[in-house]
Amino acid sequence: MIVAADDLPSSARFLTQYERIVAVERVAANKQGVKNKKYQMRQAIRNPKTWILFGMAVDAHIPNAAMSSARENLPLDRYSKGR
């Protein structure tokens, strides 16, 4: 099942005109902005949570990569119990 949502609340097809206005005003009241990719990128780079999550992902993938590559080099056919 594929669900496609619009980028902006002002262009959302599933909202009425009044609901679009309310959605845009709510976003403006939260001071979140509708779209500002440069600001979002700057915030993500400066955010320590981003770096912590990045470090955790790298730490989780290093042992997995080592096990995957080592498993390919083991002669498992000799040690199988079925023969």
pTM tops 0.85: no
Between these two residues, 63 and 60, which has the higher pLDDT value? 60
- Give the pLDDT confidence score for residue 54 in this predicted structure: 93
Classify the phi-psi angles of 73: left when phi > 0, otherwise alpha if psi is within -120 to 50, otherwise beta: alpha
In this structure, is residue 77 part of a structural domain? Answer: no
Residue 47 lies in a domain: yes
Q: Is residue 26 part of a domain?
A: yes
- Residue 81: pLDDT over 80: no
Domain tally for the chain?
A: 1
Q: Is residue 7, in this structure, part of any structural domain at all?
A: no
> Does residue 54 form part of some domain?
yes
Residue 31 lies in a domain: yes
Instruction: Show the domain range for 68.
Output: 14-72
Residues 37-62 have pLDDT tens digits of 777 788 888 999 999 999 998 888 88
Domain assignment present for 81: no
Give me the sign of the Cα torsion angle 80, 81, 82, 83.
positive
Q: Identify the three-state secondary structure at position 8.
A: coil
Q: Helix (H, G, I), strand (E, B), or coil: what is residue 6?
A: coil
Q: Does some domain include residue 41?
A: yes
